[in-house]
Amino acid sequence: MKMASERESDPKVLLVPGSACRHGMKFTWGVGNQLFVFAGTPTSAEDEVSGEGAEAAYVHDVRWNTDMHDVYTRKLVNESNNIFLMLQSHEHGIEGTGRKPQLVKFSRNYRSVLKACIMDLIAARDSVMEEEVKKYYHSQMELFQMIELIWSLCEILFIETLPGGILLVKLLDWLKWHFNEGEKKARDVLREDTPEENPEYWEAVYCYVLQGRIEEARNMLSLHSLRQTDAYESMDELLRKMPCFTYFTGQSTAEFDMKWRHWQEESVRRLEDGEFRNHKNLETICKILIGDDQVFIQLKDLCECWYHMMVSKLLYQNPTVKAFDLQYHTQSCIDAYGGNSKVDPLENILLAAIEFDIHQVIKESSSYLSNWWFVSHLTDLLHHCGQLEAHKLNFGSNLREYLLLEYASGLMSHESLWQVGIPYLDHCPEFGRQYLEQYIEHIPLSSERKAHKVLRICEQRDMHDQANSICKVMGMKALHNDRLGSALSWCLKSKDVTFATYLAEQFLTRYRATGDFSNLDLLDNLGQAMLLSDRLTFLGKYREFHKLYEDGDFEAATSLLLSLLTARLAPKKFWLTLLTDALPLLEADEVVFTSQQTYELMHCLEELSLAEKLEAEEKTDQLVGDHKGFSDAELEKMSLIKLALTRNLARAIVHEGTVLT
């Protein structure tokens, strides 16, 4: 039998298809347990990291620990996440008897969702026709059945502390729920008109007796044609008188032990008196009742495994056994099934639990089970029960946190389960936030809806750098897709001044080309966000000017237009557009611009003309012949603006003089 350390070092080999990969491969990390592998030969250390220089035709998405990604196991993941979160918020101030029942309830909740998953897998296995898929569901079903078997035993031993440490009643329930071969045999027998003629009749009776299900065994015996004979009535009386230890009935262990010895002495006496000599099957039952070792060896096939035999033997040999004494009764049962060499890996986990070696249970489970669901949730529950000391690992994390991080890593590589993995990282105080920051940066933002989800997660956890990074990435995506409104919306969230200036320039450029603004609902509601950059402020105020003009508030529109020019908020290349916008106001029937305002507009027009001349002279001095001045259309606009300004000045002077007089 290999040691755990040896088993953990055994590598798993995955063949990556493609002839190009034979000459070398590179990879880059994905999210969680995910690698993107492609063909290529690294030429330097930098190439190996960046993946440059690859000539790959295909990128292979390699993932591991994906058992929980199945459609049926995803339900288990989501429901167990709810239980996990409730457990973390459980009131730690409750101590003693008040706290223990709640923790047992959490354990049973975990087992209930586990059983529901097993039922779904059984239904899926029975409904599919493909043999490979059927085998997959069957293997998954067997895996989770074993997990539930281990969990329920750990619940009895570590979580549900029983009065006096006597746990055989719970172990019998454990057998009843996980070993139903006797139940199946009994059902087949009961279909017969004469049950005793079925070859499995006595096997069903033996199974019931071995599991301590005395009433069911008596019912089966009552179906026999010889039930009214002395031997059968004697056996029925023995079974009926068999003492059963129950909790919370006021019966002491010593009192039960005394009743048990008297009953077993009577069973031995009847066997020695030969009451069942002529009925070999009843004699076998009586040997079970007196705890004869040889009869358990004979019936080992009905027990199925060593731990079933152990519980059955203890029922009739030591019914008041304490939890810590179980380990002293395992070896004889293991030997009956071929010794330690025949113990399979999953049975080793049960053996470690019986020996109260919690760390070995976790280690063996981590080595053999193909997912981290069981060890992470069980370890967390044991941590809350106070059964697991803070076991520090060599790399700094404690055992509970390490397992939660591993489980969350497996979830983070899934398209939707990554949201379930985040609460587990939240409850890892040492490394959880660092893991989450790294995962957030690698989550593919395939849609705006997903990006908003990730952004909300970052904002709830004050992860400002990651939030800004998401907004910048989504803003650039929107810009590349020619969606200026969405790009500006993401930019405002990231508060990127440079990007905001660039986007405002794009809006203004489009306006100059088309004469219309796009995304009016966004521009009309910028509010204080327009103060992010000067260019964005100008864009917002310029749109406000258009709204005032459309609403007929010419006086306010005039004042705002003039302030945009005189405060030098508008870029100079946009002055001509602003002056052109002033034309309808200058030619209005009523005087809108005062003489002073008209002088200021004239000054702006003159400054614009002078700047153009100076630039032209500078280009000429530098022997640059490709300078483009104002176009003919722009020169014509300037002439019209100058004429309109002259007319408005005369009208304003006359109007002001008349008002003054």
pLDDT > 90? residue 18: no
pLDDT, residue 299, reads 92
Instruction: Give CA 116 to chain center in angstroms.
Output: 19
pLDDT, residue 67, reads 58
Least confident of 375-379, 403-407, 635-639: 635-639
pLDDT > 80? residue 595: yes
For residues 54 and 258, the model is more confident at 258
Least confident of 49-63, 158-172, 265-279, 359-373: 49-63
pLDDT, residue 19, reads 59
pLDDT > 50? residue 125: yes
pLDDT level of residue 16 (50, 70, 90 thresholds): low
Predicted confidence (pLDDT) per residue in 185-206, tens digit? 999 998 888 888 888 999 999 9
pLDDT > 70? residue 349: yes
**422 in Cβ contact with 398 (< 8 Å):** no
Total domains in the fold of the chain: 3
> What does each C-alpha distance from 263 to 207, 294, 316 come to in angstroms?
21, 21, 11
Q: Which of 245, 239, 210, 386 is nearest to 322 (CA)?
A: 245
Beta-ladder partners of 392: 398
Q: Identify whether 645 is part of a domain.
A: yes
Helix (H, G, I), strand (E, B) or coil at 28: strand
Residues 194 and 59 placed together within one structural domain of the fold: no
Q: Identify whether 474 is part of a domain.
A: no
| Edge-to-edge strands, sheet with 25-29 | 25-29, 34-39, 59-63
Q: What is the mean pLDDT of residues 627-649?
A: 79
pLDDT > 70? residue 143: yes
Beta-ladder partners of 62: 35
Residue ending a domain, among 261, 290, 321, is 321
For residues 164 and 497, the model is more confident at 497
Q: Name the token pair of 20.
A: 């190009």
pLDDT > 50? residue 48: no
Angle at 582 between CA 580 and CA 585, to 5 degrees: 135
Residue ending a domain, among 274, 291, 321, is 321
Residues 58 and 187 placed together within one structural domain of the fold: no
Q: What is d(CA 584, CA 75) in angstroms, rounded to the nearest whole number?
A: 67
Q: What is d(CA 311, CA 313) in angstroms, rounded to the nearest whole number?
A: 6
Residue ending a domain, among 279, 296, 321, is 321
Tokens 């074993």, located at residue: 146
* Of 47-56, 354-363, 572-581, 636-645, highest mean pLDDT: 354-363
Q: What is the mean pLDDT of residues 565-588?
A: 84
pLDDT > 90? residue 620: no
Q: Identify whether 29 is part of a domain.
A: yes
Residue 166 has what DSSP assignment? B
pLDDT > 90? residue 307: yes
pLDDT, residue 288, reads 94
Predicted confidence (pLDDT) per residue in 380-406, tens digit? 999 998 887 755 666 556 889 999 999
pLDDT > 70? residue 42: no
Buried-exposed string 566-595: b where 16+ CB fall within 10 A, e elsewhere: eeeebeeebbbbbbebbbebbeeeebbbbb
pLDDT, residue 5, reads 36
Phi, psi (degrees; rounded to nearest 5) at 61: -90, 105
Q: Identify whether 250 is part of a domain.
A: yes
Q: What is the mean pLDDT of residues 131-154?
A: 92
For residues 622 and 513, the model is more confident at 513
Q: Identify whether 470 is part of a domain.
A: no
Of all residues in the chain, what percent carry a pLDDT higher than 70?
A: 84
Q: What is the mean pLDDT of residues 211-236?
A: 91
pLDDT > 70? residue 429: yes
> Three-state SS across 488-552?
HHHHHHHCCHHHHHHHHHHHHHHHHHHCCCCCHHHHCCCHHHHHHCHHHHHHHHHHHHHHHHHCC
pLDDT > 60? residue 525: yes
Residues 38 and 175 placed together within one structural domain of the fold: no
Parent domain of 634: 552-617+629-660
pLDDT, residue 513, reads 82
Q: What is the mean pLDDT of residues 556-565?
A: 88
Q: Which of 114, 79, 86 is nearest to 102 (CA)?
A: 86
Q: Name the token pair of 93.
A: 């101030």
pLDDT, residue 50, reads 46
pLDDT, residue 2, reads 38
Q: What is the mean pLDDT of residues 488-502?
A: 91
Q: Which of 77, 114, 34, 116 is nearest to 422 (CA)?
A: 77
Q: Identify whether 260 is part of a domain.
A: yes
For residues 538 and 40, the model is more confident at 538
**383 in Cβ contact with 391 (< 8 Å):** no
Instruction: Write out the DSSP string of 268-324.
Output: HHHHHTTTTTT-HHHHHHHHHHTT-HHHHHHTHHHH-SHHHHHHHHHHHH-TT-BGG
Count of positions (residues) in the chain: 661
pLDDT, residue 71, reads 82
Beta-ladder partners of 29: 35
pLDDT level of residue 581 (50, 70, 90 thresholds): confident
Q: Identify whether 133 is part of a domain.
A: no
Residue type, 69: H
Q: Which of 142, 71, 79 is nearest to 112 (CA)?
A: 79
pLDDT level of residue 368 (50, 70, 90 thresholds): confident
Residues 180 and 58 placed together within one structural domain of the fold: no
Q: Identify whether 343 is part of a domain.
A: no
pLDDT level of residue 589 (50, 70, 90 thresholds): confident
Q: What is d(CA 346, CA 143) in angstroms, rounded to the nearest whole number?
A: 10
pLDDT > 90? residue 28: no
Predicted confidence (pLDDT) per residue in 249-292, tens digit? 667 788 888 999 999 999 999 999 988 888 999 999 999 999 99
